[in-house]
Structure 1
Amino acid sequence: MSRSIPRVARATSLLAAGALAAGTLGAVAAAPASAVPADHLVINEAYLNGGSAGATYLNKFVELYNPTSSPIEVDGWTVQYRSYSSTTAFTGKIALTGTIPAGAHYLVSGNANSTNGAALPTPDAPSTIAFSGNANGGTLALTKTADTLTGDGATVVANPNVVDLLGYGVSNTSETAPVASGYSVTASVNRTDGTDTNNNSADFTSAAPTPTACGEACVPTPNPVEERTIAEIQGTGAASPYDGDTVITQGVVTAAYPTGGFNGFYLQTAGSGGAGDATPGTSDGIFVFGSAAVAKVAVGDHVELTGVVSEFGGMTEITPAAADVVVLDEPAEAVKATELALPLGDAAREALEGMLVTPKGPFTVTNNYTTNTFAELGLAVGDSPLYVPTEVAAPGAASQAVDAENATKRITLDDGSSTNYTAGGKNTPQPWIDADTTIRVGASATFVKDVVLDYRNSAWKLQPTAQLTADDANDVLPATFAGAERPQSAPEVGGDFTLAAFNVLNYFITTGEEYEATTGISCEYFVDRDGVPTTVDECVGQAGPRGAASTVQLERQEKKIVAAINALGADVVSLEEIENSVKFGKDRDAALAALTEALNEAAGAGTWAYAPSPDASALPPVAEQDFIRTAFIYKPAVVAPVGASTVLVGDPAFADAREPLAQAFQPVAGTEDDRFVAIVNHFKSKRSGTPDPDQGAGNVERVAQAHALVAFADTVKAAAGTDKVYLTGDLNSYSKEDPITVLRDAGYVDLEETYETAETYQFDGEIGSLDHVFASPAAAPDITGMGVWSINAMEPIAYEYSRYNNNATLFYDETAFRSSDHDPALVGIALEEQLTPTTVSAVATPGISPLFGPIIAAQVKPRATGTVQVLKGDTVLASQKLVLGVTVVAVPAKALKPGTHQLTVRYTGDATHAASETTVTARVLGR
């Protein structure tokens, strides 16, 4: 029998997890080093690989031991488990009962990975909780409460309800330090002589498993078995008031999952649901767990059962023996589906947990990241995906309000199984998508069948009434999808030439296999369903390549990137996440040259060239450079570089990030007036650095980088002899975050905001833009348009080269779609001589009292769009947009002293009209 267990999108390597653990353990106080007998119940042994090939025992187990001279009652106690890196709630919880005599052991069983090994002695507390037995490990806690533990390592260790704790592998939660190894299919971790120094690494050793049960000596007085309605069992809170009790209940089977890993069925009180609710505030549906139990029933059956109530990962369920599930002969009133109308908070959803529901739309796909692995689709109620809070609201109270609202709007549509289609289910075709049918973020979802609302794997989900498979989709499919079709061509942005920004997803010409062969250093890989490496996970020392595992995989990656760039229609492209080849003993531009060559092979010789790196003397020392870098490619028939490229060197803001790279260009058809500087950036990621609750880690560092970028731009534009500057790249900052504000406050025009483009990135079921293009005030009037080509971020990751042959369905092709995880942005730019000359006229009137400043009426001919600014010297006092070529600008009273002032009225230009200005005399009344 298997269980649905918490899902992990990707396995973090041992080395990376070790670093995480090392950074967390310092918060846990060191314990006395002397070995003394424990004066409390202890975790004595943990066997973590039951059922696997070669296993000694079929099931995993945790053995407790009472080293004291007195019996210890454990009614209401629990053994809890969570994964090695989690700082949230423990996900597995096993209720304990009875009294453990002095010197006695107590056996708690877990799940079986497969069918190998001998049966355990009869456990005192049986369960099917899955304790991880891999190198990363996990955390086991013995607690005096049924309440779920939560918090970081120090918080859990300090919890007064925690009697004993075992962290193993590289767990971030342990007593002093985890026991790092020693567990396998034939070995468990064993406490030495019942001692407890509060140091897991010192208190445990490796030995053959010796499970010992307490048996009849610990059997408690059984609780009376009582008949309860499902609503009574569910209760009005998140957990059942009868957790751990044995109950008798009845209902109608609404959904059954004999295959796919759920191994159970949903039972709902006969006649319940629909518009009327006889039990407001509590649910009339519940999950019944057991593969033998579900084999006895079918949807529509009227069933009576007897079983134990428990909470599994926050979901209330009953576990009966097969003999205690009886299909009744008498008919029952049919269950009716209840309307599910989001947004709803957790409490309102809890009242419908396990019930048959009819989701009330509209719904939009907002998350398809786990579609590839677990056949899940994140939905948002409404006509659009959810936005990253700081994409649409300022950090702080405003973004937190968006975050809270998002939580009430999202829900996951599942496939009625715990199948991982890239692991145990890798030879089973995906049920939602195939090589020709994608479901993109932004697609509308329309429900055509009722579903069950459940809570599993820490998320609210909608389950079809049977497992959805590729073969039975027409019979089981609960929803259909439309819209958000793939854009087959890049957006039209106009202009005489174009500039683009593109993150190329760790394009490394140094493959994992080459790195291992030339250095002798071993690497870990992500592999396809045949075990063939696809991409590098990590190399020993964390200093290796980050891209393709092999030449074959590099070719697959390259074909998609080449297809995307050649179809983008750009004349200059700033690149991020391309290999810094000097870190591998090659010419710094080797990867850049290889990509340029591949582009020319597809587009024609001489179509593309690249901007060479500066001389080594003008670069940071190689040891200080990152393994990825930024770069420029361009079409020499359209633009020509002016001078050498420049890297910002020596600024402490970029001590742990990629330094900005600047290059001046001049259009071949233009003049020096059209010369511009492009500066490509890749700011510090959100994964490390100074924590920020709303903007991710590293925000302080990114703010410093934004200020340094502004100063660098002033330097390079002066050297290039132009005020036209474009700042491009992956700034790892969403549109309302502090680093973006720094650039706006410096006068740079946010073209994404001006042209209301699509977002470039998807993360955790929310969309936003990490990739930006800014124009200096002098460059902004030349812009004819900006757009984002949505070929990557809104696509399921199944189509990425890195997921080649992960599933029975081959999703990979050589098109541009999912060539990266970021979408490219494209900007159209006009030559100066192509802009229509304009004249601006203006008249100023004084304020009508000392409380009001002058009012400037302005007109631009020929009729234009854009903005008119009023300046005193170089200071902008006020601005206003034109409407039909005219506008009125009110100057704040406090902006000028009383008296007469000469003011500049400046039209900043638009896509087809050149900038122009005039002067007016304005009078400010005395105060």
Structure 2
Amino acid sequence: MSTTHPSPRRRGSATAALLAALALPASAALAAPAVAVPSVDAPVVIDEVYGGGGNSGAVLDRDYVELHNPTDAPVSLDGWSIQYGSATGTAWASQTDLTGVIPAGGSFLVGQAYGSNRDLPDLPTPDVEGSIAMSGTGGKVALVSSTQRLTCLGAACADATDVVDLVGWGATTNTFLGSGPAPGTTNATAVARVEHANTVDNAADFRAGVPDPQNSGSTGGGEDPDPEPEPGEVVPIAEIQGTGAASPLVGQTVTTRGVVTAAYPTGGFDGVYVQTEGTGGDPADDPTPGASDAVFVYSSAAAQQLRIGDHVEVTGQVHEHFGLTQVSATSWTVLDEPAQEVKPTTTTWPATEAEREALEGMLLAPQGDFTVTDNYSTNYYGTIGLAAGTTPLVQPTSVGRPLSPEYHAQVADNAARAVLLDDGATTNYSTSANSSKPLPWLTGGDPVRVGAAVTFTTPVILDYRYDAWAFQPLTHLTPDVADTVQQAVFEDTREASPADVGGNLRVGTFNVLNYFTTTGDQLSGCTYYTDRVGDPVTVRGGCLARGAAEAEDLERQEAKIVAAISGLGADVVALEEIENSVHFGKPRDQALSDLVDALNEHDGAGTWAYVPSPAEVPADEDVIRNAFVYRTAAAEPVGESRILVGSDAFVNAREPLAQVFQPAGGVDADTGDDVLVVTNHFKSKGSAGPWPGDADQGDGQGASNESRVRQATALLAFADEVAADAGTDKVLLVGDFNAYEKEDPIVVLTDAGYTDLGPATGKYTYMFEGKVGSLDHVLASPAAAEVVTGADIWNINAYEPIANEYSRHNYNVSLLYDTTPFRSSDHDPFLVGLDLAPSAPAWDAGTVYVAGDRVVHDGAATTWTASGLYVRGDVVVHEGHLWEAQRRSRGVEPGTSNAWAGLGAA
């Protein structure tokens, strides 16, 4: 993300308007209208909001709200207020009362809370001082024509008579004007109106960019721009770019010269990049340090006519197009005179925004390590998220406690290392208009996986658009020109199987992405996500089903899930997000039974079984549930399963399901080889639950954190009760907790003595917004942790492109679906090995043991069989006779080779 690009609007001088306002008697200032419903004629609007002040990565030391007066007369703000609420909050929690006059056509700055870093630049002098601590990522701010606290939320605020204007920003905000909220921000960006636009639509009117606070005395625009160049004067590109975030020549017509380094006649860029001849190479030799020597020339005609390598002279007006400096060309000429070669600048990823600005548009040969960190948008827009370095970007709450120094350090690290790898186009390949165009980057046999190392094969252009820096190819990348145009290749990091975790019982957990054997076409009212020819693929809404639309879609989904469960190598698999069939008039276990049938068809009859539902289940269960399957030759359940019943904590989540397991052939009466496994699926982060504190607090934990904390607390009590009843102290809490490693719900469990086994694997189970982290966990009680022999996260899903998922079948002409485990879900399975031994008595030479009995012999548990290892004096019953071993023997029939002496009938 850009952190220092200019706010996406131009500033006009407000000096004259301010002086006029100050000269008026107070009574001459316009009063607020009696009724002030938000409208395009609002006398004052919220023009810019910044909530990251003083945080890690911030550019100013405090938050602010800036107002704008679009009218030709001053307006009194006496008796008005600014009110703020968190993105998903159910109340307007804070306010700042206003006083003073906002000049005609001018600005008014309301300073808000300082952050922890007071060494950052301060605001211009605020017109009013406030103390609201706003979120750096999203929230809602209202301009109110009274000091009465607002009670409206959502669309109701658009009709509130005392709301003059309102802006909600960030994807999760619950209150905004128009079609959607303004973009989300970072600690380094604000949301601001584009050219003071007011269509009463936050999504349309606002863009994210560098904070640019203006008070009622601001003239706007910073220093006066350079004088208008004389007609015909050739202006060097470095002078057009300048050394700041924006060109000093914005709005002026210039003529410049350079060499075409990239051309985009197709794909929507509609322009070429031009760089000053002879520049590039070693950054130490840069003749214009701090200023870029390249610029984007916007003209679809020029893109059609010019070729890479042309030496050109271009004339046009300078613009800042959402942060990208460009010359909108009105004329161009290919020069006959030769030009010095432009060399790719050899550089590692620039660590600061100023360093990136100094390279904007230039030809680069990236140096150092780069790693894939995001492939979600690859099948939409042909973009791949990269992280400079050898690791992907990481969720801040996977690294540090919310808002801790470690958290903020990770936020800063993510911002510093992120860059896109793009395809030189604006094409959305998932739309009906473009789905017939093959995807760039993605092929079935050459995956682009999160965590994969990147090797650059051609130079790139450092481009800025859509609020992000990107490495662009030198022309539009399509599969038919990939051999020469594609600028990078990727390491194949797929693992055919998880690591060997050892032990005599292997336990896995796996979220199976809405495995529903009740397909949408079996129900009424379902709506669907469809493929490129309009055929339904997955259920979108309108009915209780959540998975496949039709039988053919279920077959594709099931093939991948079965391959994943079989390939995991677990003896016991806890499942989350499987259909609760009782909601469809079927036995509760019907979908689970269907899955076991498919597993047995894949692995052989009788290989797998499922744990039946307990006798008592909650009265009002979710349509998805938790479950267990197990390999019959390796594991066996002990007693019946139990589900948590009657807990208020799980009103918005799936109740935990518990089952005791032991290795197959174990001693049922003995608890030494038992382990209690409890599978979980906590409330998601996407919406707020019923409890106070469930609103997103802006601390990185998302919505419903309070719900998940209550669920973790209830889980502890439930696990303790079941373990005590089973007589075991070995407990595994497994599943999808919808909480990252350092978030409150996981800390509740680890503070209770459980060990989170995930961090030791060095892997993560989930990827969201280009950052990896683990929502899925295996937490071991102290006794269980002592017998853990290994743990591994099998990265078959979260690191794979979503284009490989069954739900994206035939979305694009590039058909990427296959029946492998890869992208069988959006969560990765987790596998743990346990060494479980019975606590049977030590060997007693005077005791007769029957084949199948379990004893401790030579310090290890032994099952007596005819092929076992026996020593002198051992006695065994074989075919109804007692035999005593005369010497050490293995695999010898009793009574042969003088190995055994008969003692008579048993």
State the TM-score bracket (shorter-chain normalisation).
0.5 to 0.7
Q: Return the offset for 1:510.
A: 2.3
Answer yes or no: is the 8 Å Cα contact 1:307–1:320 preserved in 2: yes
- Counterpart in the other structure of 1:679: 678
Q: CA deviation at 1:565?
A: 0.8
Q: Name the counterpart of 2:894.
A: none
Quote the Cα distance in structure 2 between the aligned partners of 1:453 and 1:496: 54
Question: Contact 1:225/1:248 (CA < 8 Å) preserved in 2?
Answer: no
Residues 519 and 549, structure 2, Cα contact 8 Å, conserved in 1: yes
Deviations 1:519-573 (A, max 9, x none): xx242x222222222112232xxx5322112121111101110111112221111
**Counterpart contact for 2:526–2:540, Cα < 8 Å:** no
Cα offset, 1:738, TM superposition: 2.4
- In structure 2, what is the Cα distance between the partners aligned to 1:789 and 1:694? 26
Q: Which of 645, 649, 652 is the aligned partner of 2:645?
A: 649
Instruction: Identify the residue that residue 621 of structure 1 maps to in structure 2.
Output: 619
- Contact 1:512–1:545 (CA under 8 A) maintained in structure 2: yes
Structure 2 vs 1, CA of residues 834 and 584 (structure 1 numbering), >3 Å: closer, same or farther? same
Shift of 1:67: 13
Contact 2:382 2:440 in 1 (8 A): yes
Shift of 1:331: 2.2
Q: Is the 8 A contact 2:42 2:165 kept in 1?
A: no
CA gap of 1:744–1:166, structure 2 versus 1, over 3 A, is closer
Rounded Cα–Cα distance in structure 1 between residues aligned with 2:199 and 2:382: 42
Write the mapping of 1:86-105 to structure 2, written as runs, cut at 5 A: none
Cα displacement (A) at 1:164: 10
Q: State whether residues 435 and 812 of structure 1, in contact with CA within 8 Å, keep that contact through their aligned partners in structure 2.
A: yes
Does residue 1:813 correspond to 2:818, yes or no? yes
Structure 1 residues 35, 390: closer, same or farther in 2, change over 3 A?
Answer: closer
Q: 2:769 maps to which residue?
A: 764
Secondary structure, aligned partner of 1:242: coil
Q: How does 1:278-427 map to 2 (within 5 A)?
A: 278-321=287-330, 324-342=331-349, 344-395=351-402, 396-423=404-431, 424-427=433-436
Q: Which residue of 2 aligns with 1:138?
A: none
**SS class of match (2:464):** strand
Alpha-carbon distance, 1:253 to partner? 0.9
- Structure 2 match to 1:792: 797
Counterpart selection for 1:457 from 463, 466, 469: 466
Question: 2:604 aligns to what?
Answer: 604
- 1:774-923 pair list within 5 angstroms: 774-833=779-838
Shift of 1:749: 2.4
Partner of 1:843: none
- Partners of 1:378 and 1:67 in 2: CA distance: 40
Which residue does 1:266 correspond to in 2? 273
Residue 870 of structure 1 aligns with which residue?
none
Residues 841-880 of structure 1: CA deviation (Å, up to 9, x unaligned): xxxxxxxxxxxxxxxxxxxxx99xxxxxxxxxxxxxxxxx
Q: Which residue of 1 aligns with 2:578?
A: 578
1:536 maps to a residue whose letter is: V
1:233 equivalent among 226, 236, 240: 240
Aligned counterpart, 2:854: none
Distance 1:277 1:491, change over 3 A: same
What is the match of residue 538 of structure 2? 535
Letter in structure 2 aligned against 1:299: I
Q: Is the 8 A contact 1:175 1:198 kept in 2?
A: no
For 1:727-767, what per-residue CA distance to the aligned partner results, in whole angstroms no more than 9, with x for missing partners?
A: 110112222222222222211222224x4352222222222
In 2, are the aligned partners of 1:156 and 1:173 still within 8 Å (CA)?
no
Please report the RMSD computed on the Cα atoms of aligned residues, expressed in angstroms.
Answer: 3.8
Q: When the two structures are superposed, what TM-score results if normalisation uses the length of structure 1?
A: 0.66
Give the conservation status (yes or no) of the 8 Å contact 1:724–1:777. Answer: yes
Q: Match for 2:752: what amino acid?
A: A
Aligned-partner Cα distance in 2 for 1:296–1:343: 33
Sort the Cα spacing of 1:40 and 1:545 in 2 relative to 1 into closer, same or farther, 3 A. Answer: same
How far is 1:297 from its partner?
0.8
Aligned-pair CA distance for 1:294: 1.1
Q: Equivalents in 1 of 2:428, 2:200: separation in Å?
A: 36
Cα 1:493–1:652 shift into 2, 3 Å: same
**Deviation, structure 1 residue 699:** 2.5
**Can you give the 5+ residue segments of structure 1 that lack an aligned partner in the other structure?**
1-28, 43-65, 73-84, 88-149, 181-196, 202-221, 838-861, 864-927
**Residue of structure 1 in register with 2:709 after alignment:** 703
| Structure 1 letter corresponding to 2:377 | T
Q: Which amino acid aligns with 1:504?
A: V
| 1:499 shift after superposition | 0.8
CA separation of 1:358/1:39 partners in 2, compared to 1, >3 Å: closer, same or farther? closer
Amino acid at match of 2:35: P
Superposed displacement of residue 312, structure 1: 2.3
Deviation for aligned residue 1:583:
2.8
Q: Unaligned stretches of 5+ in structure 2?
A: 1-31, 46-68, 75-86, 90-135, 146-162, 181-197, 203-226, 689-693, 843-857, 860-906
1:727 maps to what in 2?
733
2:884 maps to: none
Instruction: Give a deviation string over 1:61-110, Cα, whole Å, max 9, x none.
Output: xxxxx999x899xxxxxxxxxxxx999xxxxxxxxxxxxxxxxxxxxxxx
Cα distance in structure 1, aligned partners of 2:778 and 2:818: 30
Q: Aligned pair in 2 of structure 1 residues 680, 38: CA closer, same or farther (>3 Å)?
A: closer
CA, structure 1 residues 422+777, in 2 after alignment: closer, same or farther (shift >3 Å)? same
Secondary structure of 1:435's aligned partner? coil
Partner-residue secondary structure (3-state), 1:710: helix
Equivalence for 1:848 = none
What amino acid does structure 1 have at the position aligned with 2:827? H
Q: Secondary structure at the match of 1:505?
A: strand
Taking structure 1 as reference, are residues 489 and 302 closer, same or farther at Cα in structure 2, changes over 3 Å only? same
1:633 maps to 2:639: no
* Change in 2 beyond 3 A, CA 1:40/1:394: closer
Give the 3-state SS of the residue equivalent to 1:548 in structure 2.
coil
CA distance in 1, matches of 2:589, 2:718: 23
Q: Determine the C-alpha separation between the residues in 1 that align with 2:42 and 2:703.
A: 42
Distance 1:40 1:829, change over 3 A: closer
CA contact (8 A) 1:647 1:662 kept: yes
Question: What pairs up with 1:709-748 in 2 under 5 angstroms?
Answer: 709-748=715-754
Q: What's the % identity of the aligned pairs?
A: 52
Aligned residues of 1:495 and 1:830 also touching (Cα < 8 A): yes
For each residue in 1:620-652, what CA deviation from the matched residue of structure 2 results, as whole angstroms up to 9, or x when unmatched? Answer: 322xx2222111112233333233222222323
1:512 correspondence with 2:520: yes
C-alpha separation between the residues in 2 aligned to 1:413 and 1:809? 20
CA contact (8 A) 2:385 2:420 kept: yes
Partner amino acid, structure 2, of 1:700: E
SS at match of 1:547: coil
Cα displacement string for residues 279-299 of structure 1 (whole angstroms, at most 9, x for unaligned residues): 222212111122112112111
Counterpart-to-counterpart distance in 1, 2:623 and 2:175: 36
Contact 2:618–2:646, Cα closer than 8 Å, also in 1: yes
Q: 1:650 to 1:241 in 2, by over 3 A?
A: farther
Q: Which amino acid aligns with 1:428?
A: K
Deviation (angstroms), 1:158: 7.7
**Is 1:31–1:199's contact at 8 Å kept on the other side of the alignment?**
no
Q: Does residue 1:550 correspond to 2:550, yes or no?
A: yes
In the TM superposition, 1:424-573 aligns within 5 A as 424-484=433-493, 486-516=494-524, 521-523=525-527, 525-539=528-542, 544-573=544-573
Give the Cα–Cα distance (whole angstroms) in 2 for the partners of residues 342 and 455 of structure 1. Answer: 14
Distance 2:529 2:786 in 1: 47
Task: Indicate the SS of the match to 2:429.
Answer: coil
Letter matched to residue 630 of structure 2: Y
**1:241, distance to aligned residue in structure 2 (A):** 2.8
Structure 1 residue 804 displacement after superposition: 0.4
What one-letter code is carried by the residue in structure 1 that aligns with 2:746?
I
Contact 1:251–1:267 (8 Å) recurs in 2: yes
2:38/2:166 contact within 8 Å kept: no
